[in-house]
Amino acid sequence: MKIKLYDIAHSRAGDKGNTLTLSLIPYKEEDYELLKATVTVDLVKEHLKNIVMGEIKRFELPLISSLQFVCYEALAGGVTTSLRMDAHGKSLSYALLSLEIETSDDY
């Protein structure tokens, strides 16, 4: 069975220069293990391939049941130089949440 991340999690975005951070926080703490197992760097990189031009690093934050993705070269140069409508990348948190993941049939 496939589900969208927005069905089980929410996200926050932050920026520093041309680097974007995306947090992924499950609504239910027990879904953290599912996110950890399924939302890989490769999956996020493929999903955001037209936006993030650089490396993506994933950090696991088990004490707060969250994942954080640091996306380099993601904001077209950063707030002071980007011509994008969303220079801070805040809408990219929803782009992450539109990612589909595979779950067991009994989810």
Q: What is the pLDDT of residues 24-51, one digit of tens each?
A: 999 999 999 999 999 999 999 999 999 8
Burial 43-60 (b: 16+ CB within 10 A, else e): ebeebbeebbeeebebee
Cα separation, 58 vs 29, in Å, equals 19
User: Which tokens go with 45?
Assistant: 């990189």
**CA 53 to mean position of chain CA atoms:** 15
pLDDT at 7 over 90: yes
pLDDT tens digit sequence for 65-90: 999 999 999 887 666 555 455 555 66
CATH of domain 2-102: 3.30.70
Alpha helices in the chain (DSSP H): 32-38, 41-47, 92-97
How many angstroms separate the CA atoms of 2 and 104, rounded? Answer: 8
Mean pLDDT value of segment 88-99 = 82
The residue among 24, 29, 21, 20 whose CA lies nearest residue 10 is 24
The residue type of 1 is M
* Both tokens assigned to 83: 């011509």
Domain positions in the chain are 2-102
pLDDT at 107 > cutoff 80: no
**Residue that wins the pLDDT comparison between 107 and 49:** 49
Flag whether pLDDT at 56 surpasses 90.
yes
